[in-house]
Structure 1
Amino acid sequence: MSIVRPYGDTTGDGMVQMSFTLPLPHDKVAEGAAVQLANKMGMDPALVVHAKPVGEGFTFVVVYGRVNHLVDTSQVVVVERDYPLLTPPEVNAEVKAGLRRRLVVVGACIGTDAHTVGIDAILNIKGFAGEKGLEYYREIKVVNLGAQVSVPQLVARARAERADAVLVSQVVTQRDAHILNTREMSAAFRESYPADERPLLVVGGPRFDEAGAAALGVDRVFTRGTTPGEVASFLVHRIVSSRTHSQEEQAS
């Protein structure tokens, strides 16, 4: 079945739950405004099931109600993993055989973003979701610059380390800061490197769209739930395997 409707209490009843904040003090007017907004978004009937003040003059609201919209899953576009998922020993073996040196990764949170949980989950040896981070991989050299790194600092350090890949994490999304920072970063690397020498640019964060890599000027976008193993496997696929394949073509 490619056509589906949301499920709440019974199959196909179209019930959904939505939360948002209104710039109104918490009272009956705020709750009525929440219902009105939900109605205009196609939720009818709509019921406020939770509301509370969040600071002076603001109300957080949860609304529950029915929508009539249908979803055609055959029209959903997703980014499928186009490379094999490797184990740490397999990653090490591929890098050692293909590069004959360690693969160099420079990572950072750029701009004013001080949330290092994302970049640390991928880079630090403690890792994420039971997987050890890239520091655990013997054939990968990790340079973690931490938080609030400026774009010029990132480019300079990538040059100094002769980075094969640059990993950037962006968690702060107010006023599309993650989008603006990423575009600034990608533009800076393109200005500073010849096309054939530029390191692989990878960005990750919970509010990115996996399909948006080209628009951001990066090589790959990773979103929530990404594990170190996925990132390591991608790096091998794009840096090691592609280089090896190119060399084999030239030799033939």
Structure 2
Amino acid sequence: MSALVRPYGDTRGDGMAQLSFTLPVPHGPRAEGAALLLARKMGMDPAMVVHSHPIGPEFTFFVVYGSVTHTVDLDEVTVVERDYPLLTPGEVNTAVRQRLRRELVVVGACIGTDAHTVGIDAICNIKGFAGEKGLEYYRELRVVNLGAQVPVPDLVKRARAERADAVLVSQVVTQRDAHLRNTREMSAAFREAMGERRPLLVAGGPRFDPRMAADLGVDRVFSRGTTPGEVASYLAHAIAGPTGPTGPARAESASTDPTRADPVANPEATRP
């Protein structure tokens, strides 16, 4: 079977695709002509404007439909595959209880000037997202959601105070790559403050590329559509799982208090 694919519209391989964009041109025939010319230069031919709408006096929004001339070789596609199993809440709780023998502490926040908490709330709050309960629902997870516009120094300070095992950062605002800049600042601050004993760092948002984790200095990047169950399963795998790349070491370094993870010295650290 050929690895080359084209978009599907009316018939297989016809290349039909829909594209939307805005041009800084007043609404009218000239703007539509510019939209069609742009579509042809992008490899869409023939193309047609199926919708146009003025956005104020100087801009026009377009939806263009047509056949693209390009193909995609599936053998050239590179993505980040999920390398851990999806667990039920009960399985996550069991893994944490058996491996850490204490609660797994998660601190979440929107950093910088980002005031959009819908992402971090969807993952952390008990109401959850997409029919799944959030991390607050998990018996063996203790979640501290700091909300919006948290300065990076404050996040580091709170993570240290809570002895966080993992820090989840949500970034929705992406103008001028603010989400990338803020995430790099955050990871650098944790490295400077805590070195190898830093918590697991996880970034998420609709415009992140999961392949950028190493470049951003974090352990994992989640993009749009991520559910609380995926994040919980990853935390169990990376921190509490026996096959997690940072499992035993991360669990050991998460706290400077040796009695916290010792059920004999601190019976309150475990649950039945």
Structure-2-length-normalised TM-score: 0.87
Q: Percent identity?
A: 74
Deviation, structure 1 residue 62: 0.8
Please give the alpha-carbon distance, in whole angstroms, between the structure 2 residues aligned to 1:180 and 1:56: 33
| Structure 1 Cα separation of the partners of residues 224 and 152 of structure 2 | 23
Q: 1:155, 1:55 → 2: CA distance?
A: 43
Letter in 2 for 1:94: A
Residue equivalent to 1:187: 188
Correspondence list, 1:204-243, <5 A: 204-241=204-241, 242-243=247-248
Q: Is residue 205–residue 223 contact of structure 1 (8 Å, CA) maintained in 2?
A: yes
> d(CA) in 2 for partners of 1:23 and 1:198?
46
The aligned counterpart of 1:250 is none
Superposed CA RMSD in Å reads 1.5
Superposed counterparts of 1:22-171, under 5 Å: 22-171=23-172
Preserved contact between residue 165 and residue 251 of structure 2 (Cα < 8 Å):
no
- Code of the residue aligned with 2:209 in structure 1: it is D
Task: Provide structure 1 residue ranges, at least 5 long, that are not aligned to the other structure.
Answer: 248-252
Structure 2: distance between partners of 1:199 and 1:238: 11
Q: Distance in 2 between matches of 1:81 and 1:182?
A: 22
Unaligned segments of structure 2, at least 5 residues: 242-246, 253-272
Given that residues 169 and 204 in structure 1 are in contact (C-alpha distance below 8 angstroms), is that contact kept between their aligned partners in structure 2? Answer: yes
Rounded Cα–Cα distance in structure 2 between residues aligned with 1:189 and 1:54 = 43
Equivalent position amino acid for 1:110 in 2: I
TM-score by length of 1: 0.94
Per-residue deviation, 1:245: 11
Q: Structure 2 CA distance, aligned partners of 1:181 and 1:131?
A: 28
Letter of the 1:51 partner, please give it.
S
In the alignment, is residue 201 of structure 1 matched against residue 201 of structure 2?
A: yes
| Distance in 2 of aligned mates of 1:88 and 1:48 | 48
Give distance in 1, aligned partners of 2:214 and 2:195: 18
- Letter of the aligned partner of 1:73 in structure 2? L
Aligned residue-pair number: 246
Secondary structure, in 3 states, of the residue corresponding to 1:86?
Answer: coil
Shift of 1:8: 1.5
Give 1:16 shift.
Answer: 1.1
